[in-house]
C-alpha cells in the first residue's frame, strides 16, 4: 500500500476520472510472470515501486532508515495535445528519505519529471529511474539501489531472501466494496542489504541491514468514504513478516476491507484476516503541518500484539513539489507485549494532514 507509499498520488490536471475504457482494472486471475511483472504496466493508471529498510553502520550499531519510492501516473491520451517531442501521457514522481537516529535527522527530497530522458521504467524487468535515483534487478535476482538525499548518498545491493509474494485473493488486493478499488500487489518482504552510505558531513560508512520492497499497480485505490490509510511492513526476528493496512473511513472507523497478512521465512502466506486492530498508544503533532499522528501504534491480530515505536518522532514528508501529499513515513522498532524488541518495521500514515479523497 502506498504504498505505499503508500504516499498517495495527486490527480493531475486534465487526468479525468479513471474508467474501464481508459485504463485497465485489477481483476482476479491475473497471470503473474517474473521478471516481467517487476517492470512497468502502462495500461494501469497508477503504479509505484516502494523500497524501505533499516541499516546499521559497520559494527558501531549506529542505525539508519531509508525510503525510496518511484511513482508512475498516466493521464488519458485525450488529455494531451500538440506535437512536441516531449509530449507524454506518463509522469514520474519520486520521494526519498533518510532517517539518522543518532544524528536526530530526517532528510527528504522529491522529484517530478515526464517520462523520457530524466525518468522511466522498463516494461519487461525491474529498472526504474528518476534522474540519478535508480533501482534495478539483474539476472541473478539481486537488486541495486542508488539514491541521494540533501547531500547524503546511499548505494545498496539487495538480495531477496524469498521469492516475490503476491498479496490478496486470486491475485487481487481489494481496497473497498467497489470492485475497481483494487490493485495487483507484489512484495519482497525481506531483502538482505549491504552497501555504502555517505553522510552530508563527508564520511562514507559501510552499512548492512534488512529491506522491504512493495510494487503495486492499479487504476483506482480508494473507495467512497475512505480518507486515508495506515500501513505497516513488519519484519520479525523469528523470520516472519507481517503486512497490514487499515483503511480509514470519514467517520474514523476501520473499513471492512482492511487486511493483515502473515508471511513465513520462506515467503509463503500463512494466514490473512480482516479482523485485526491498529490503534495509537500515543500522539505526535507535527510543528510544520499541524497534523496529529497516532504514534506509537499498536497492532493486534491472532492473539498477538506488537507496538511500532518510531526511532524518531518527526518522519513527516511534505511533498508540495511532486505528489502534493503530506504524510508520515518512518523507521520503527517493533516491541512485543513484554516490552522486548521483536523486529523492525516501516510505518506509513496518510490522511491526517488532509483527506486523500479525490486524489486518486
d(CA 37, CA 33): 6
Are 86 and 116 spatial neighbours (Cβ–Cβ below 8 Å)? Answer: yes
The highest-level CATH class for domain 36-79+88-349 is mainly beta
Q: C-alpha angle 218/319/1, rounded to 5°?
A: 30
Alpha carbon 127 to its chain centroid, in Å, reads 17
Q: What is the mean pLDDT of each run of 10 residues along the chain (360 residues)?
A: 41 39 88 97 94 93 96 69 55 96 96 92 97 97 97 98 97 90 96 97 93 93 81 98 95 93 98 97 96 98 98 93 88 97 97 69
Report the pLDDT value the prediction gives residue 155, as an integer from 0 to 100.
Answer: 98
Distance of CA 126 to the CA centre of its chain: 16
Give the C-alpha distances (Å, rounded to integers) separating 11 from 7, 124, 231, 357.
Answer: 13, 27, 21, 10
Q: What is d(CA 257, CA 178) in angstroms, rounded to the nearest whole number?
A: 11
Whether the bond into 173 is cis, omega within 30 of 0: no
Compute the distance between CA of residue 180 and CA of residue 232 in angstroms, rounded to an integer: 23
> What stretch of H or E contains 93?
strand 90-100
Q: What is the pLDDT of residue 135?
A: 98
Amino acid at each position: 500500500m502506498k504504498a505505499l507509499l503508500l504516499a498517495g498520488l495527486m490527480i493531475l490536471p486534465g487526468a479525468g476520472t479513471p474508467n474501464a475504457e481508459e485504463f485497465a482494472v485489477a481483476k482476479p486471475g491475473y497471470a503473474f510472470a517474473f521478471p516481467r511483472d517487476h517492470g512497468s504496466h502502462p495500461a494501469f493508471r497508477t503504479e509505484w515501486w516502494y523500497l524501505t529498510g533499516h541499516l546499521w553502520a559497520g559494527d558501531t550499531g549506529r542505525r539508519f532508515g531509508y525510503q525510496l519510492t518511484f511513482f508512475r501516473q498516466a493521464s488519458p491520451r485525450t488529455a494531451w495535445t500538440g506535437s512536441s517531442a516531449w509530449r507524454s501521457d506518463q509522469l514520474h514522481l519520486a520521494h526519498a528519505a533518510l532517517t539518522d537516529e543518532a544524528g536526530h535527522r530526517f532528510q527528504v527530497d522529491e522529484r517530478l519529471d515526464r517520462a523520457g530522458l530524466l525518468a522511466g521504467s522498463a516494461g519487461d524487468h525491474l529498472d526504474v529511474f528518476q534522474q540519478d535515483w535508480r533501482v534495478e534487478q539483474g539476472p541473478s535476482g539481486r537488486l541495486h539501489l542508488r539514491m541521494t538525499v540533501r547531500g547524503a548518498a546511499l548505494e545498496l545491493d539487495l538480495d531477496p531472501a524469498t521469492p516475490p509474494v503476491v498479496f490478496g485473493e486470486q491475485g487481487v488486493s481489494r481496497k473497498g466494496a467497489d470492485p475497481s478499488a483494487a490493485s495487483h500487489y507484489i512484495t519482497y518482504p525481506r531483502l538482505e542489504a549491504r552497501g555504502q552510505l555517505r553522510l552530508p558531513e563527508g564520511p562514507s560508512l559501510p552499512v548492512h541491514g534488512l529491506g522491504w520492497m512493495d510494487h503495486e499497480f492499479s487504476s483506482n485505490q480508494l473507495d467512497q468514504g475512505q480518507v486515508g490509510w495506515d500501513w505497516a511492513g513488519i519484519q520479525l526476528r523469528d523470520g516472519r513478516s507481517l503486512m497490514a493496512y487499515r483503511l480509514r473511513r470519514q467517520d474514523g472507523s476501520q473499513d471492512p476491507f482492511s487486511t493483515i497478512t502473515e508471511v513465513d521465512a520462506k515467503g509463503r502466506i500463512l494466514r490473512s484476516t480482516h479482523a485485526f486492530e491498529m490503534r495509537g498508544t500515543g500522539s505526535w503533532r507535527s510543528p510544520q503541518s499541524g497534523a496529529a499522528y497516532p504514534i506509537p501504534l499498536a497492532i493486534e491480530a491472532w492473539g498477538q500484539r506488537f507496538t511500532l515505536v518510531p526511532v524518531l518522532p518527526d518522519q513527516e514528508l511534505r511533498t508540495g513539489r511532486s505528489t502534493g501529499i503530506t504524510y508520515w513515513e518512518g523507521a520503527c522498532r517493533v516491541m512485543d507485549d513484554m516490552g522486548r524488541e521483536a523486529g523492525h518495521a516501516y510505518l506509513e500514515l496518510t490522511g491526517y494532514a488532509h483527506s486523500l479523497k479525490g486524489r486518486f
